[in-house]
Amino acid sequence: MKPLHPVMFAGTGSDVGKSIVAAAFCRIFLQDGYHPAPFKAQNMVLNSYVTPEGLEIGRAQAVQAEAAGISCHTDMNPLLLKPNSDHTSQVVLNGKPIGNKSAYDYWNRNFQFSILNSQLKKEVCAAFDRLASRYNPIVLEGAGSISEINLRETDLVNMPMARHAKADVILVGDIDRGGVFASVYGSILLQSPEDRKLIKGIIINKFRGDMRLFEKGRRMMEDICGVPVLGVIPYYKDIYIDEEDSVCLANKNCHLSTVTCQLNIAVVLLRHISNFTDFDVLERDSRVNLFYTNNPKDLSQADIIILPGTKSTLDDLQELRHNGCAQAIQLAHRDGKMVIGICGGYQMLGQTIEDPEGIEGGIARLPGLGLLPIHTTMGAEKTTKQVTFLFEGQECKGYEIHQGVSDTNEAILQTDHCIGTYIHGFLDNQPVIEYLLGKTNVQCSMFNVQCVEDFKEEQYNKLADHLRQHVDMDRIYQILTSHD
């Protein structure tokens, strides 16, 4: 089988669908007999995942690795930035945190060039080279927009990475948000002549309506850009792929259900919420109306309340006290409602949280909600590992990513109406879901649930089929095997 060039899916902006398109091509290449692997040099996101080695990467690359049929590895996302606030991020290099940096320091040219840039560039290029020696093709994902010319000299993930990888670049534009001609044309025109030559095609994503209405537009885009449009992908609603970007939270359900046979499960909407993919399985359960809220009245009417993970536990706990959610959660628990805390949410349910070293910021100590008998101390060391555990006598699995240590060795701490756990993916396990739903007063019908692994496989195949229908795979293979 002829080897393929690396291919990069770059974007006209954030949330245009690069991650999903890259996952789709990972599955397509796998189906066609290749041995693909995903790669994103630098990712900025709160939704992360743990590799089998116990190291941390962006969740999108873990999803893309699943689509490619391989285990995830830090070489697939060697540099991860996890925002602590609007101004600072934790820098995770090759799966391990190396410190916090302000956005100004990280992107400032003099600081970057003198301290970080050469080291980070060397690390991300080495990670790519290791992957490329083992897999073919490498499916690269860009970050944000490729036309942020003010960041060009410090960019590690877009066109400089494409140059190092000698990748064919396919530009993804989102027609749903409007202005797709300007965004695609501008993204290409703002490249240097050298980088412009790397852009071999355009994919228009999230099209709604009759595809025939865009035929003229497709020809016009090819004429003005001088680059072929390789596909126009319709918007879909019936394919479920894990997403990592908090932008998609805006599209989540935020309303109580009035259907009497449905359980209302409220996820507390924290300002620094992380790993919200913990709730995807519950969200698909027809017995459940899962919704996100920071409204105390909505929380009081929910059947189950979940406090999710957060990157800033103390800051979010303080906000819960200010907006009345803390009191609403305590009252709901007092009334016999089930309350669940995951990761940072678990810490909040305890007696106290202390941060003597200022790991999270300026808040040194806060009382917790007092629902669980634990005390937590923040520290510099970060726990990252995959775990298996028993629940109701059945083996389950998940993963841990957390800063801070609680004074209990229990991965899961349970009382009559409260469960706290450090385990992400806890709610992906059917024994856990059936236990929780059985603890409420709402009568739900039996529900046959497909196991998570089988469901994901089905979704990756559906996604691949969807793209095959709407992109020119023959032309893409020609591009990826040409000698130009």
For residue 125, the domain's CATH number is: 3.40.50.300
**Is 343 a known active-site residue?**
yes
**Is 375 a known active-site residue?**
no
Residue of 179, 119, 111, 117 lying closest to 145 (CA atoms): 179
Q: Is residue 425 part of a domain?
A: yes
Q: Is residue 274 part of a domain?
A: yes
**Residue 84 identity (one-letter amino acid):** N
User: Both tokens of residue 316?
Assistant: 């979010």
What is the total count of domains within the chain?
Answer: 2
Q: Which position among 26, 343, 396, 418 bears the catalytic label?
A: 343
Both 181 and 48 in one domain: the answer is yes
Q: Is residue 331 part of a domain?
A: yes
Q: Report the alpha-carbon distance of residue 378 to residue 275 in Å, rounded.
A: 19
* CATH code of residue 372: 3.40.50.880
Query: Quick one: DSSP state of residue 88?
Result: E
DSSP string, 187-204: HHHTS-HHHHTTEEEEEE
**Can you give the pLDDT at residue 282?**
92
Q: Report the alpha-carbon distance of residue 384 to residue 373 in Å, rounded.
A: 23
User: Both tokens of residue 200?
Assistant: 């071999």
Both 219 and 313 in one domain: the answer is no
**Can you give the pLDDT at residue 237?**
87
| Virtual torsion, Cα 174, 180, 185, 190, nearest 10 deg | -60
Both 211 and 267 in one domain: the answer is no
pLDDT tens, 382-414?
999 999 999 999 999 999 999 889 988 788 999
Both 362 and 421 in one domain: the answer is yes
Q: Report the alpha-carbon distance of residue 90 to residue 402 in Å, rounded.
A: 13
Q: Which position among 73, 333, 402, 424 bears the catalytic label?
A: 424
Provide the domain limits for residue 86.
Answer: 7-241+457-481
Both 274 and 363 in one domain: the answer is yes
pLDDT tens, 242-277?
876 656 677 788 888 877 778 999 999 999 998 989
Residue of 119, 35, 120 lying closest to 77 (CA atoms): 120
Both 65 and 187 in one domain: the answer is yes
* Helix/strand/coil (H/E/C) assignment for every residue in 298-367: HHHHCCEEEECEECCHHHHHHHHHHHCHHHHHHHHHHCCCEEEEECHHHHHCCCEEECCCCCCCCCCEEE
Q: Report the alpha-carbon distance of residue 180 to residue 101 in Å, rounded.
A: 34
pLDDT tens, 404-446?
899 887 889 998 899 999 999 999 999 999 999 887 766 655 5
**For helices 59-68 and 452-470, angle between their N-to-C axes, nearest 10 degrees:** 80
Both 176 and 29 in one domain: the answer is yes
User: Both tokens of residue 409?
Assistant: 């060795």
DSSP string, 376-388: EEEEEEEEEEEEE
Both 24 and 59 in one domain: the answer is yes
Both 421 and 463 in one domain: the answer is no
Q: Which of 87-101, 164-178, 279-293 has the lowest mean pLDDT?
A: 87-101
Both 273 and 328 in one domain: the answer is yes
Q: Report the alpha-carbon distance of residue 416 to residue 329 in Å, rounded.
A: 15
